A and B are shown apart, each in its own frame.
Chain A
């Protein structure tokens, strides 16, 4: 903690009685000093008759600017004074874990984003990607790529399989990080609120892909995502994610256990279930996220959502685009884990 930063963040209008000199705080031999100082200041504040909250805020003034900010933000969170939107997206939480997401993106997976400019800077858009892995890492990495690389960064929302909302903790994390249940009603509402929405039309079939099936796109259902895009006039941006299909290499599937736990699959990977919870740590493959040319749907008009032929055609077009770019991307990227 630098003394210079501390004096920068200091409010000159507030008295600093009894505050230890900055050199004391910098002394590494006494890590307890700040804590003692803090408690002493707090007691003094309370003795003066200030309310506990004011006293806390008073001693917080003496802390370095950054620590103070973090401390005050922590206090506010403890009071429930933080915004959550009606979907339960918690911006403060997302900001807190963003460094972790960036670490995964940059260091763990050494991800490279291509064609981010194809994501519209304003308004609604449907990002359609290939899906793999039981935890929605691919959705989070797409959002991270847009936050890091796009000139107009914003947090892309995403739709996840329903059972994520039936899992302790996972349900909280997914909701606070902009996830919603994979339901057409959610997709339409999010798009009408002008969000970016990532969907995975492969769905359960995607996360159930075995190691030998990686980067082979599964069937795209009945093209429900195209109907949603047509109905809302949102452009479709096909996204080819290379790397996500190697993070949890599924070697086998224990059906009986899956049925018992009420999950769609019970995957056996090199690390799971052999290493227990450690098996949830994804393998460090190298990622390449490619955003392809958007397909405009607005010219067709909302009524075109009923046109089965058009829906299937567009669905097939998106699927082919992603498959093509996946194969190219796998080649471009080279060795998966080096």
Chain B
């Protein structure tokens, strides 16, 4: 069998670049194309960079020409960065996915699609089961803009998979990632000097280590399965325990003022907290990862508490007790 040919969208994001690097070193893969609006920050050996806007209809020409057998969709904006409007992010998520799906319809060579989606579709609800299995999506209304984006992305690929029974569509539902080199909304929030938390709530959080986040996509490319698959480090960690591990000081804010407090942090340019993260910090969310382990055959190296440990170690942060010791006289 000839080597596999793969197209990766969103190659210039941090995880996109890491995924491309992983693909390029796999001997079973013959060709890797990376598509994005701007080139990746580092030179990628063995990856052909294609500069294109995923929202444009150029995709319908580009994708069939590449004769790829697998498409990895990584161009999903979880949180618009500075200078990107919510509107533009929504366009990338929904129109971009629409264009990609349309392009795949025109490319008969495509046999598998792997989407790096989000567990955000489950939401964060007080009455939710403590572990979401894959069939429990849309148990609750999609409350935020990002949730609705993810809902639309999933619907587009569902419809595509129904029309093209011979194409295997894997929808990876990622919990938020954390790791030493990752710079995301969650890591920025956790790095605030004083971390605002909702008063009287201590949700169970579940995260995935950045290394596992990359490897899970690579595993799904090697062994694509049909339908949604949850991706997370096993186990959970309470928010307060996480902050204590990181030596952070929590600032409890009454729930009605919490949105205002996070908005203030955004105004100060410290960190922005999306409505999704805000709900997550109230109610938490965890998923069941049986399908990832048994069907995709990927077991994350880091559990959620271990992923947090690794992130804490990399920051070389001070513990609360250390800080208290330094305040004592005669030290």
List A residues at the B interface (Cβ < 8 Å): 39, 42-43, 46-47, 51-53, 55-56, 75, 77-82, 84, 86-88, 90, 162-163, 165-169, 171-172, 175, 180-181, 183, 185-186, 189
Contacts and interface: CB of A to CB of B under 8 A. Distances in A.
Given A51-B322, A84-B236, A86-B286, A183 B129 contact: yes
Contacts of B202: 171-172, 175
Interface string B233-263: 0111110111111100000000100000000
Contact of A52 (B133, B200, B331): B331
Given A51-B322, A181-B130, A80 B243 contact: yes
A52 B321 contact: yes
B204 interface: yes
Contacts of B319: 53, 79
A189 B132 CA distance: 11
Interface string B106-134: 00000000000000000000111111010
B325 A88 contact: no
Interface in B185-215: 198-202, 204
Given A39-B328, A82-B241, A172-B202, A186 B322 contact: no
A294 to B, nearest CB: 26
Contacts of A90: 238
Given A79-B244, A168-B255, A171-B126, A46 B331 contact: yes
Contacts of A55: 325
A84 B201 contact: no
A171 B328 contact: no
A53 B322 CA distance: 6
A116 B131 CA distance: 31
Contacts of B234: 86
B293 to A, nearest CB: 15
Contacts, number: 113
Instruction: Please tell me the size bucket of the interface on B.
Output: 35 or more
Given A51-B322, A79-B321, A185-B130, 9 more contacts: A42-B328, A78-B321, A80-B240, A86-B131, A87-B236, A165-B126, A166-B283, A175-B202, A185-B129
Closest 5 CB pairs of A and B: A52-B325, A168-B200, A80-B244, A162-B127, A43-B330
A189 B130 CA distance: 9
A168 B130 CA distance: 18
A88 B201 CA distance: 13
B238 A88 contact: yes
A84 B238 contact: yes
Interface of B: 126-131, 133, 136, 198-202, 204, 234-238, 240-246, 255, 283, 286, 288, 319-322, 324-326, 328-331
Nearest to B288: A189
13 contacts: A52-B322, A53-B321, A78-B320, A84-B236, A84-B241, A86-B236, A87-B130, A88-B204, A162-B127, A165-B283, A175-B202, A175-B204, A185-B130
Contacts of A181: 126-130
Contacts of B130: 87-88, 180-181, 183, 185-186, 189
A78 B244 contact: yes
Contacts of A84: 236-238, 241
Given A43-B329, A46-B328, A181-B128, A169 B136 contact: no
Nearest to A183: B129
Contact of B200 (A75, A171, A183): A171
A38 B242 CA distance: 30
Contacts of B286: 86
A126 to B, nearest CB: 17
Contacts of B283: 165-166
Contacts of A56: 321, 325
A43 B326 CA distance: 10
A152 B69 CA distance: 58
Given A172-B201, A185-B136, A80 B325 contact: no
A46 B330 contact: yes
A188 to B, nearest CB: 10
B200 A86 contact: no
B237 to A, nearest CB: 7
Contacts of A52: 321-322, 324-326, 328, 331
Given A79-B319, A185-B136, A88 B200 contact: no
Nearest to B199: A168
B316 to A, nearest CB: 14
A168 B326 CA distance: 33
Contacts of B322: 51-53
B241 A171 contact: no
Contacts of A169: 200
Nearest to B198: A168
A53 B321 CA distance: 7
B126 A166 contact: yes
A46 B327 CA distance: 11
Nearest to A185: B129
A166 B282 CA distance: 8
A43 B321 CA distance: 15
Contacts of B329: 43
A175 to B, nearest CB: 7
